[in-house]
Amino acid sequence: MISTDNIRNGVNVDQLVGTIEAVQGNPELAKFEFRAKTDWIEGGHCRTSAKGFYGVCQEDETRQETFTMEADHPEVLLGKDKAPTPAEIVLHGLGSCLTGALMYHAAAHGIDIECMETKLEGNCDLHGFLGLDPNVRKGFEGINVTFKVKSDATEEQLLELAKFSPVYDIVTNPTPVSINFAK
């Protein structure tokens, strides 16, 4: 029997179209909540775990694995260099989200992507983090992203598709963060 799955860029286009139609029929299906728990180990070394999430009107029961991710700092930033820095983790989140968004939306538009790699650079000035100059921001002053994509689509088209990325939105626009203390 021949498979009739409509796969483009590794994305199941039938399932993607089905998801869009389902959300159009019931807007509540589109609400997702992602969660993580970060445990402090020592200094700037942490371990985060992520498993449960909410989506399509229910708590997820399909994910089997609890994903763990670590963060640390190199020696020059007073760490033991056991894991990437939070700054590099943000670049990873941005790079993978831009890539995923481009692939999903390209698939929906019938655009084939042969291969893709993305370089990311984020610049910061420690005067901000160290509290030495209130006019210097603590985070990245800016992020440079360079796409290397093999596709028949134009760069303008690909850029437009990538910008559907949720993490691109989180980084480029203000996202409210509310911090509370557990009693």
Residues in 18-37 at the binding interface with a second copy, rule: CB under 8 A: 19-20, 23-24, 27, 29-37
Residue 109 contacts a second copy per CB under 8 A: no
Tokens read off for 76? 């020059």
Which listed residue (59, 122, 153, 157) binds a second copy by CB under 8 A? 122
Q: Which of 6, 26, 112, 131 binds a second copy (CB under 8 A)?
A: 131
Regarding 137 and contact with a second copy (CB under 8 A), the answer is yes
Task: Tell me: does residue 6 bind a second copy (CB under 8 A).
Answer: no
Q: Are strands 45-50 and 11-12 parallel, antiparallel or unpaired?
A: unpaired
At 141, the amino acid letter reads E
Q: Does 59 bind a second copy (CB under 8 A)?
A: no
Q: Is 165 in the site for a second copy (CB under 8 A)?
A: yes
151 is a site residue for a second copy (CB under 8 A): no
Does the footprint of a second copy cover residue 10 (CB under 8 A)? yes
DSSP states of 127-175 as a string?
HHHTTS-TTS-SS-SEEEEEEEEEESS-HHHHHHHHTT-HHHHHHHS--
* Alpha-carbon gap, residue 9 to 114, rounded angstroms: 8
Of 177, 179, 149, the residue nearest 162 (C-alpha): 149
d(Cα 4, Cα 17) in Å, to the nearest integer? 15
- Beta strand 53-55 pairing with 45-50: unpaired
Length of the chain: 183
| Interface residue with a second copy, options 3, 5, 40, 135 (CB under 8 A) | 40
Using CB under 8 A, which of 6, 26, 112, 129 touches a second copy?
Answer: 129
- Closest contact distance (angstroms) between CB of 158 and a second copy is 8
Task: Determine if 57 is a binding residue for a second copy (CB under 8 A).
Answer: no
Q: Which of residues 67-106 bind a second copy (CB under 8 A)?
A: 67, 69, 71, 73-78, 81, 83-101, 103-105
Would you say 9 and 103 are in contact if contact means Cβ atoms under 8 Å apart? yes
Establish if 157 lies at the interface with a second copy (CB under 8 A): no
| Least distance CB 135 / a second copy (angstroms) | 13
